[in-house]
Amino acid sequence: MSAPISRNSPSQGSASDEIASSSEAVGETITTFDGAEALLRAWGRGLTPDPWLTVSEWADRHRWLSSRASAEPGRYRTERTPYMRAIMDALSPGHPAQRVVFQKAAQVGATEAGNNWIGFVIHHAPGPMLAVQPTVELAKRNSRQRIDPLIEESPALKERVRPARARDSGNTQLSKDFPGGVLVMTGANSAVGLRSMPARYVFLDEVDAYPASADEEGDPVSLAEARSLTFAHRRKVFLVSTPTIRGVSRIEREYEASDQRRFFVPCPHCGAMQWLRFERLRWEKGRPETAAYTCNACEEPIEEHHKPAMLSLGEWRPTAEPRDARTVGFHLSALYSPPGWKSWADIARDKETAAGSDEAERVFRNTVLGETWIETGDAPDWQRIAERREDWPAGTVPERGLFLTAGADVQKDRIEVDVWAWGRGLESWLVDHVVIEGGPANPECWDALTELLGRSWRHVGGAELGLARLAIDTGYETAAVYGWARSVGFAQVAPVKGVEGFNRASPVSGPTYVDATVSGKRLRRGARLWTVAVSTFKAETYRFLRLARPTVEELEEGAAFPPGTVHLPGWVDSEWLKQLVAEQLVTVRNRRGFARLEWQKLRERNEALDARVYARAAAWIAGADRWGEATWADLEEQVGVRGTEPERSEGQAPAGRIHRKPGRRARRVFRSSYMG
């Protein structure tokens, strides 16, 4: 073990020397017992207090970055990311905090700070340590890509962890033995790994990506922290993550229970200390390279080249009274990224590119600003929606509607179907509302639904449009739905199953093959099922319903409706409108205080909302979220309208999150499925 460094406490070293000397003196008097001298030396080391060297000081002295794991290999320098110094030092044994929370943007140096802590523990403050990744697979990958280079490139660590190739080395992919301790790595999805040992140190990385429960045994954060309780005031727990959704984010909950520290930096013009807010970053629209930060005291622009000096003079300041005195919390956005990493111009460019896309906006808020995404789940006012109804005949497709999908909601005594037209940017129009009486037990009901598949609706341009896809709920009378879908074929029909939760990246998954009972016979893999994250499309629908609309005068001057605008005809009644906004998103907490978002009914009937969600899922399955410009132009040509693509800034994706052009064969199949 290295000699203790007592820079902050001159008397510490002499006390340690006295303990070591007394141990050796006692050892000289005991000669009859084998191993007594080694035992007493170990006893002396155990009595030696932890060194006063901080984690940041250790990193600057001993840490080397590998080209395998870092974009800037070589000696680690805390001055490169000065804001990490206080965070690392809070993990040092001499700091009174037991829990350190870091809510952050992506790529600000948090992972390397955690690795510095691991290196410090191995070298200077040995003890059992548990490092948790979201899954076991990620833990294995982190071990290969981060921990192994950490050990191999830092001589002080390499001499303490035996090579993995050595026999009985104690160095495996998920476990690293070292004198006085062990590093165990596991995933939050493994309850066995989380309760495998007591741990003085616990490193919980990306906690917002953890599952709600580890093997159905409870919250993985609580299970991991329980491993450290026996170490009392000597324990250290480091929780790190980019946040996710407001109300369910673990890291946000932990940060709000802390003293909520912010990194204050001085203005280079007036010296006013302030923490950086995105709202103060200003640039000319369409020219992100002009981005500069505006001081909230003197209103002078601060340029990118001022950032290094500002960061070097920055300091962390608490902004709240902690609910837990043992916890310190830090929050940092990418606005603080050092030169050469993410510039203010890059952030402005990301913001402009994200405009018009819920998923891109959320990624920007989570990974760039380090803030939670707020789901808008309050039900819009149905009377306000009624005032916005427009005038067009039932069964007619308006000009900008380019293809049709339908959502079918199966009830005990009927099947309700809503037909929606979709255009660029997912602008939509309700074209038809059909109620088929009889219910799933009546064969005539299914015959009528089959007939609906063959119907066409006239576009104002003269074309006849059929249904590109009909999505039907399988939650009620599942066998009957599977049987009907199999009989008409899955090319035009998509049986769907709604599940709670958000998945903006892929709100529809599948299809998966499931067993189905048809004419009394059970068929293995007899049906295809799509799974829909209904929370995603419900929140999207409510957001689209709230979009501001251009005035009559603005429309006459050529203004366009915002992407996603929902158009409703004058012939829909108040009952249908109330059903469309019949739910709201609420935060529900369990007995342990953990929160989750849940959709709850405001009124009993919600068929219109369900049918809208299924029709939207059908549009996703048809590919509307992924079509390129050529496909939209092709659809406009076929229905007889001119191109209506809205203007967008340079580098911004077309509205509706359109990224790629389908292959020639896919376009041909699509045309045959919806064009009458």
DSSP string, 41-59: HHHHHHHSPPPS--HHHHH
User: Is 580 part of a structural domain of the chain?
Assistant: no
Q: Tell me the pLDDT band of 16, cut-offs 50, 70 and 90.
A: very low
Shared-domain flag, residues 550 and 441: yes
Shared-domain flag, residues 237 and 201: yes
Q: Lowest mean pLDDT: which of 405-409, 421-425, 505-509, 665-669?
A: 665-669
pLDDT > 60? residue 264: yes
How far, in Å, are 178, 304, 590 from residue 320 at the CA level? Answer: 40, 30, 26
User: Is 584 part of a structural domain of the chain?
Assistant: no
Q: Tell me the pLDDT band of 34, cut-offs 50, 70 and 90.
A: low
Shared-domain flag, residues 123 and 140: yes
Q: How far apart are CA 207 and CA 21, in angstroms?
A: 45
Shared-domain flag, residues 39 and 14: yes
Give the residue among 90, 96, 101, 89 at the shortest CA–CA distance from 256: 101
State the pLDDT at residue 306: 95
Shared-domain flag, residues 275 and 410: no
For 455-482, b/e burial (b = at least 16 CB within 10 A) is: bbbebbeebebbbbbbbbbbeebbbbbb
User: Is 585 part of a structural domain of the chain?
Assistant: no
Shared-domain flag, residues 193 and 131: yes
How far, in Å, are 27, 46, 55, 181 from residue 37 at the CA level? Answer: 5, 14, 32, 21
Pick from 96-100, 441-445, 484-488 the range whose average pLDDT is largest: 96-100
Do the strands 64-65 and 74-75 form a parallel or antiparallel pair, or are they unpaired? antiparallel
The domain that contains 130 carries what CATH number?
3.40.50.300
State the pLDDT at residue 608: 94
Shared-domain flag, residues 63 and 28: no
* DSSP class per residue in 449-508: HHHHHT--EEETTS-EE-EEEEEEE-SSSHHHHHHHHHHH-TTTEEEEEEESS--SS-SE
State the pLDDT at residue 267: 97
| pLDDT: which is higher, 435 or 6 | 435
Q: Tell me the pLDDT band of 45, cut-offs 50, 70 and 90.
A: low
Q: What is the number of H-type helices and E-type strands within the chain?
A: 23, 29
Shared-domain flag, residues 509 and 632: yes
pLDDT > 60? residue 50: no
Omega within 30 of 0 (cis) for the link into 179: no
pLDDT > 60? residue 660: no
Give the residue among 125, 52, 48, 128 at the shortest CA–CA distance from 94: 52
User: Is 484 part of a structural domain of the chain?
Assistant: yes
pLDDT > 90? residue 604: no
pLDDT > 50? residue 653: no
User: Is 579 part of a structural domain of the chain?
Assistant: no
Shared-domain flag, residues 95 and 184: yes
User: Is 589 part of a structural domain of the chain?
Assistant: no
Q: Which residues pair with 75 in a beta bridge?
A: 64
State the pLDDT at residue 58: 94
pLDDT > 60? residue 477: yes
Whole-structure pTM value: 0.63
Mean pLDDT, residues 40-60: 78
Q: How far apart are CA 133 and CA 203, in angstroms?
A: 9
Q: How far apart are CA 656 and CA 205, in angstroms?
A: 33
**What three-state secondary structure class fits 544?**
helix
State the pLDDT at residue 594: 60
pLDDT > 70? residue 576: yes
CB-CB contact of 419 with 440 (8 Å)? no
pLDDT > 80? residue 574: yes
State the pLDDT at residue 362: 85
Give the residue among 608, 609, 584 at the shortest CA–CA distance from 598: 584
User: Is 276 part of a structural domain of the chain?
Assistant: yes
State the pLDDT at residue 35: 67
| pLDDT: which is higher, 595 or 277 | 277
pLDDT > 70? residue 452: yes
Q: How far apart are CA 519 and CA 522, in angstroms?
A: 8
Task: Write phi, then psi, for 526 (nearest 5 degrees).
Answer: -85, -5
Q: How far apart are CA 439 and CA 444, in angstroms?
A: 9
Q: Tell me the pLDDT band of 20, cut-offs 50, 70 and 90.
A: very low
Do the strands 414-422 and 403-410 form a parallel or antiparallel pair, or are they unpaired? antiparallel
State the pLDDT at residue 142: 92
pLDDT > 70? residue 29: no
pLDDT > 90? residue 12: no
Q: Tell me the pLDDT band of 18, cut-offs 50, 70 and 90.
A: very low
CB-CB contact of 614 with 607 (8 Å)? no
State the pLDDT at residue 49: 64
The domain that contains 522 carries what CATH number?
3.30.420
Give the residue among 342, 270, 339, 347 at the shortest CA–CA distance from 305: 339
Percent of the chain residues topping a pLDDT of 70: 84
The range of the structural domain enclosing residue 154 comes to 55-260+320-332
The DSSP call for residue 161 is S
Shared-domain flag, residues 303 and 324: no
| pLDDT: which is higher, 87 or 644 | 87
Residue with tokens 């074209």, as numbered in its chain: 431
State the pLDDT at residue 357: 72
pLDDT > 50? residue 483: yes
Count of structural domains, the chain: 4
Q: Lowest mean pLDDT: which of 50-54, 126-130, 371-375, 598-602?
A: 50-54
Mean pLDDT, residues 229-236: 89
Q: How far apart are CA 382 and CA 171, in angstroms?
A: 63
Shared-domain flag, residues 327 and 461: no
CB-CB contact of 416 with 435 (8 Å)? yes
State the pLDDT at residue 356: 67
* C-alpha 366 chain-centroid distance: 7
State the pLDDT at residue 654: 35
Q: Tell me the pLDDT band of 376, cut-offs 50, 70 and 90.
A: low
pLDDT > 70? residue 454: yes
Mean pLDDT, residues 193-219: 85
Q: How far apart are CA 147 and CA 156, in angstroms?
A: 14
State the pLDDT at residue 491: 86
pLDDT > 80? residue 589: no
pLDDT > 70? residue 48: no
CB-CB contact of 458 with 396 (8 Å)? yes
Give the residue among 322, 356, 290, 345 at the shortest CA–CA distance from 656: 356
Please write the tens of the pLDDT for every residue from 133-175. 998 999 999 999 999 999 988 898 998 998 876 555 578 889 9
State the pLDDT at residue 22: 42
pLDDT > 50? residue 385: yes
Give the residue among 453, 462, 467 at the shortest CA–CA distance from 415: 453
The DSSP call for residue 207 is G
Q: How far apart are CA 134 and CA 138, in angstroms?
A: 7
Q: Count the Cβ atoms, other than its own, within 10 Å of residue 74.
A: 11
Percent of the chain residues topping a pLDDT of 90: 50
Give the residue among 101, 575, 534, 117 at the shortest CA–CA distance from 327: 101
State the pLDDT at residue 560: 87
Q: Tell me the pLDDT band of 513, cut-offs 50, 70 and 90.
A: confident
Do the strands 457-459 and 396-397 form a parallel or antiparallel pair, or are they unpaired? parallel
- Two tokens at 621? 């399955």
Q: Which residues pair with 261 in a beta bridge?
A: 318, 330
Shared-domain flag, residues 90 and 34: no
User: Is 5 part of a structural domain of the chain?
Assistant: no
State the pLDDT at residue 591: 60
Pick from 8-12, 387-391, 416-420 the range whose average pLDDT is largest: 416-420
State the pLDDT at residue 10: 36
Please write the tens of the pLDDT for every residue from 274-314. 999 999 999 998 999 999 999 999 999 999 999 999 999 99
